[in-house]
Amino acid sequence: MSDSFYINPDNFKKWMNSQDEFNPSMECKLVGLQVETRFGAKRIMKKMTIESGQACKVAKDFVANGGVISEVIGDEYLIKVESGSFLISKNMVIF
């Protein structure tokens, strides 16, 4: 028998059902964190919703320097960079 780790699917389902769907403390821990992206400025510009600043400058600034999460709104982060701020999907950033 191998030494690999095995998770019983039934126990995992029971554990998942016992967990809270939404944990507000997790959102609070994300605010203020420095984030980056693995995508280029063009892709970021297509996916972001600009809040302040010029889209091109904000996207290039984010790609070059990263940004800081200032708010979590559903499945998106409000990211602040020196040249402005924007909303972007959580899957477009890395920590």
Token pair of 39 as six digits: 């995508």
Question: 67: exposed, middle or buried (C-beta count within 10 Å: 0-12, 13-18, 19+)?
Answer: buried
| Contact by Cβ (8 Å): 58, 82 | no
What is the predicted pLDDT for the residue at 87? 96
Residues of the chain with confidence (pLDDT) below 50: 1
